[in-house]
């Protein structure tokens, strides 16, 4: 994630993660949810090759943020929010 987006979205990401954990607990799906979060935090080996790929990226941070879903209700409801990534011609 671009550093600018990370700085802006970190508090919201944290709140949504807590909300997803609470929802999973209410649905009796807590163990798989926590297992998924654990796996997400310990994937360092998987992303070792990403540095070179990201160095060659041509999409700006602003273009990536425009493609994000900004609705917490869509995220919590796991509803689709598909937006095209606007890439300038090179």
pLDDT at residue 13, rounded to an integer = 86
pLDDT in tens, 36-74: 888 887 776 666 777 777 777 777 777 777 777 777 787
Average pLDDT over residues 76-89: 71
Global pTM reads 0.52
pLDDT at residue 90, rounded to an integer = 46
CA-nearest of 39, 5, 1, 33 to 17 is: 33
Per-domain boundaries in the chain: 3-76
């Amino acid at each position: 994630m671009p550093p600018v987006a990370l700085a802006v979205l970190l508090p919201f990401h944290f709140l949504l993660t807590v909300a997803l954990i609470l929802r999973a607990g209410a649905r009796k799906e807590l163990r798989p949810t926590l297992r998924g979060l654990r796996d997400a935090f310990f994937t360092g080996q998987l992303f070792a090759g990403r540095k070179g790929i990201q160095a060659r990226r041509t999409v700006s941070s602003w273009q990536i943020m425009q493609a994000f879903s900004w609705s917490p209700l869509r995220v919590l409801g796991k509803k689709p929010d598909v937006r095209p990534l606007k890439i300038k011609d090179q």
